[in-house]
């Protein structure tokens, strides 16, 4: 009877541990790391520096964010089952596909700035650009603005997908990735640019 009771308790403990591991894997989303990655990517897109990017050397990159994060992460790792820890993603932002998209956006950025300055385009709350007003533009300039918008939004959406793929994040989290980039883009927006807040209202920064 004693052996049976002990066996039952061990079996229940094993099942509970395995269940917790699965739950941890399913719910863990590296929002802080993605925010840091987004900030670095958007700063590079906006920079005119042609020197090699620190993103090409992920091992040399120091984590940024709250000074409490190392302690919080240490506690998280200490209480996370080994199987779950093995699957906790380190954000990879240096794949060829991601680097190519960053380079494409960086090359286009100079053409977007005048349109953003005039609020022809604006940063929305979904990590994309929207047309705000084409008034006063020639047909040629309107067509150019719409082409740039399509190209930029295409690169941004593909970048979010590549980040998810490179870091083994499910497609169901793409909206969260885009939302994080949106907040970074709104922060990086220059004074006078049109931005959309969380409630959907547009204003000039």
Provide mean pLDDT across the span 160-178: 97
- Classify the C-alpha dihedral 153-158-164-170 as positive or negative: positive
pLDDT of residue 28: 84
Question: Mind listing the pLDDT tens digit for each residue in 97-135?
Answer: 999 999 999 999 999 999 999 999 999 999 999 999 999
Q: What does the domain layout of the chain look like in residue ranges?
A: 30-49+93-204
Angle at the Cα of 148 (from 36 to 50), degrees rounded to 5?
50
Q: Is 180 exposed, middle or buried (0-12, 13-18, 19+ CB in 10 A)?
A: buried
Provide mean pLDDT across the span 200-204: 97
**Is residue 191 over pLDDT 70?**
yes
Burial 75-98 (b: 16+ CB within 10 A, else e): eeeeebbeebbeebeebbbbeeeb
More confident residue, 28 or 128: 128
Please report the DSSP string for 80-106 in residue order.
S-HHHHHHSPPP---SHHHHHHHHHHH
More confident residue, 145 or 25: 145
**Is residue 57 over pLDDT 60?**
no
pTM of the model: 0.69
């Amino acid at each position: 009877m004693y052996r049976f009771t002990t066996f039952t308790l061990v079996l229940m403990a094993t099942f509970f541990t395995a269940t917790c591991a699965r739950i941890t894997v399913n719910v863990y989303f590296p929002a802080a790391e993605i925010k840091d990655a987004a900030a670095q990517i958007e700063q590079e897109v906006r920079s005119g520096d042609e020197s090699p990017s620190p993103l090409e050397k992920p091992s040399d990159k120091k984590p940024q964010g709250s000074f409490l994060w190392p302690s919080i992460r240490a506690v998280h790792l200490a209480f996370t089952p080994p199987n779950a820890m093995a699957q906790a993603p380190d954000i990879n932002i240096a794949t060829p596909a991601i680097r190519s998209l960053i380079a494409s956006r960086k090359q286009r950025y100079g053409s977007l700035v005048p349109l953003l300055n005039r609020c022809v385009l604006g940063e929305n709350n979904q990590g994309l650009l929207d047309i705000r007003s084409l008034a006063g533009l020639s047909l040629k300039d309107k067509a150019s603005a719409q082409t740039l918008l399509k190209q930029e939004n295409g690169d941004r959406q593909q970048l979010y997908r590549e980040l998810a793929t490179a870091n083994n994040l499910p497609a169901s989290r793409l909206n969260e990735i885009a939302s994080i980039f949106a907040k970074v883009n709104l922060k990086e927006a220059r004074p006078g640019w049109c931005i959309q807040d969380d409630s959907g209202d547009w204003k000039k920064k």
